[in-house]
Structure 1
Amino acid sequence: MSTITYGRETVRNEGFNMGSGLLGRVKTYLARSRAERQLAQLDDRLLADIGMKRSEISKMVWGA
């Protein structure tokens, strides 16, 4: 089981869910997309406070 937490929302992929975790992957995608949008709305000073640069948002959220 994998768990991803974004703020107060936790997304869990508990294995067999609608065909090998398909529902879990969709929930994870939606949560990461939301996190990316929310981080993009912060100003550069607030991003620096959490140790992040604007150019690193996608990498931090998606791990790419």
Structure 2
Amino acid sequence: MESGPAIFAGMVFCLFGAGLLVWTATRARQRRPVAQGVSPIASATAAGLAAMISLALGAWCFTRL
């Protein structure tokens, strides 16, 4: 009964993190801005960091099963 919310939260974090990481890498590879009005390096770094944190939180949720 308690593993249901952990599975749901883990999947949400992992899907969001993976999607953000793929989107950021695609935008950076095409040399397009990740965020408007911000330095390309800073925005790609911040988005990549947020994606990695989200993936780590998803992995942590799956260890709680």
**Greater per-residue strand proportion:** 1
| Larger relative helix fraction | 2
TM bucket normalised to smaller: 0.3 to 0.5
Scaled by the length of structure 1, what TM-score is found? 0.46
TM-score w.r.t. length of structure 2: 0.46
More relative contact order, 1 or 2 (CA 8 Å, 6+ apart):
2
Structure possessing the higher radius of gyration over alpha carbons: 2
